[in-house]
Amino acid sequence: MLRSPVTLARAAAALLGLVIATDLFALWADFVMFDVTGDIADGALGELGRARHADRLFGWAGYAQSAALVACVIVFLCWFHRVRVNAEVFRPDGHSKSRGWAVGAWFTPIVNLWYPRRIALDIWDASSPGTPWHRPRPHGLVNAWWTLWIISLVADRAGFQSYRKAGTAAEIYDALVQVISADLVDIVAAALAIAFVLRLTGMQNEKALQGPGAVAPPVGAVGGPAGVG
């Protein structure tokens, strides 16, 4: 049975927007810290008061980012599971992974680097308007979002490790370059995720409005695209 993903999609898009907002706040905190640590590295010892303020601001930004991310992950996964179940109605034989992986794949080490993308592509293809055996819409948006998402994860981890290990103002200054880069990539990845959520939701809505003719019969059924998978 089809269930509307629209409300979940709007909530997910709003929370992704909140992630972008906290990333922008974090960027400001990054640059404040970047500025003061640069001065200290150059020998301006009178900047210790500014450094304490910058460190508090940096910490607040990190907490804000974490809170926004947790809320976003919960709602995004609810939406992702909903569109996966809908996609199975549109095309029962067009999925390489079971619906349980729509959530579990994100938390399983190693396979979380590619399983969610494979599931997203299966959902995308099944949800493309038109009959199920027509050519699906291009995968450019899905691939761009997923590529930036993986890059942001790697960049964020590298920046965090560099900042945690930094012991001098000069080392913190260098680590902040990686932190700033990670926040910038995360902003672009979140923007692409919003586009992905809204585009896929729109496709499923359009597909549902086409009626039963857009839904694939079981493999081998009379009149259906037997053997297509």
pTM here is 0.86
**Alpha-carbon gap, residue 228 to 119, rounded angstroms:** 18
Query: How far is it, in rounded angstroms, from Cα 105 to Cα 116?
Result: 6
CA atoms of 220 and 202, how far apart (whole Å): 29
Which residues 6+ apart lie within 8 Å of 100 measured at CB? none
Between helix 48-90 and helix 115-127 the angle, nearest 10°, is: 50
Closest CA to 151 of 111, 117, 182: 182
**Average pLDDT rounded to a whole number, residues 26-52:** 77
Tens digits of per-residue pLDDT, 3-21? 999 999 999 999 999 999 9
